[in-house]
Homo-oligomer: A and B are copies of this chain.
Amino acid sequence: MTSKGLSAQNISCQNCSLSQLCLPYSLDSDSLSKLDDIIERHKPLHKRDRLFSAADKLQCLFAVRSGSFKSFTINQDGEEQITGFHLPGDLIGFDAIHEQQHQTYADALETSMVCKIPYTILDDLGVQIPALRQQMMRLMSAEITADKRLHNVINNKSAEQRVATFIATLANRFGERGLSARQFRLSMTRAEIGNYLGLTVETVSRLMNRLQNDALIDIDGKFIHILDAAKLAALAQQNRDSPCKLT
């Protein structure tokens, strides 16, 4: 341990396992160290801690270092609409760039750590380091594509297909991060899944249990074990009125 303190705070982009997903992608070591210099790393956030609120001035973008977050809006009736779940390597806050203020709230779903990236400094650094600017664009572009996919899921899939898609997508995302795509823990509640997918808690619960009865997955509370990834993927890829159903 160095004099800087906790080992968790000594993490740098140079040795971060998430660099392939995150901003550092394709940076040379000199650029990487310039980026690393502007990033702040603080103590972990705990479940329900707020990273930022809607209407907050954009100061920083955040990269999830560990744990997970939800981002959401609150409508005039005081109800929340979850707009995304964020896993390690994800950047949070792109929607704040347009108006220079956050458009959503972001809360930790479990004990989590973030890398805090001051936006104006990042923006300046983008001038010196074209690859950094390009990676930011790529990540924003990927978020746009993901939003269109979600639109497609919600508009064209039955409740069961949506839940299957949600689990399959989450599994893939864990896989991309070097974690098991077969077994994982859901850091969000059934209600939060339903809110995101445009379904009620009851529907999510019923359909997750149906997937278990059909032996596609095994559920133990928050823990999911995917038993038949192929069938799950096939179900997830179907649309409401696909010609032929699986057996």
Shortest CB distance A230–B (Å):
16
The reply to whether B241 and A145 form a contact with Cβ atoms under 8 Å apart is no
Shortest CB distance A79–B (Å):
7
> So how many copies of this chain end up in the complex?
2
Binary B-proximity of A60-90 (CB < 8 A = 1, otherwise 0):
0000000000000101110101011000000
The reply to whether A144 and B147 form a contact with Cβ atoms under 8 Å apart is yes
The reply to whether A75 and B239 form a contact with Cβ atoms under 8 Å apart is yes
Shortest CB distance A125–B (Å):
12
Shortest CB distance A238–B (Å):
8
Q: Which residues of B contact A134 (CB under 8 A)?
A: 123
Q: Which residues of B contact A144 (CB under 8 A)?
A: 94-95, 140, 143-144, 147
A98 to B151, CA, bound (A): 18
Question: Which one of A76, A141, A197 has the greatest number of beta carbons of chain B within 10 Å?
Answer: A141
Is A96 part of the binding interface, using a Cβ–Cβ cutoff of 8 Å?
A: yes
A130 to B133, CA, bound (A): 11
A160 to B103, CA, bound (A): 26
Report A's interface with B, CB cutoff 8 A. Answer: 73, 75-77, 79, 81, 83-84, 94-98, 103-104, 123, 126-127, 130, 133-134, 136-145, 147-148, 150-152, 154-156, 195, 197-198, 237, 239, 241-243
Contact A198-B155, Cβ < 8 Å, known A98-B145, A123-B134, A137-B97: yes
A241 to B77, CA, bound (A): 8
Q: Which residues of B contact A81 (CB under 8 A)?
A: 151-152, 155-156
Shortest CB distance A90–B (Å):
13
**Contact of A151 (CB < 8 Å), options: B97, B141, B147, B239:** B147
The reply to whether B151 and A154 form a contact with Cβ atoms under 8 Å apart is yes
The reply to whether A76 and B237 form a contact with Cβ atoms under 8 Å apart is yes
**Contact of A126 (CB < 8 Å), options: B73, B133, B242:** B133
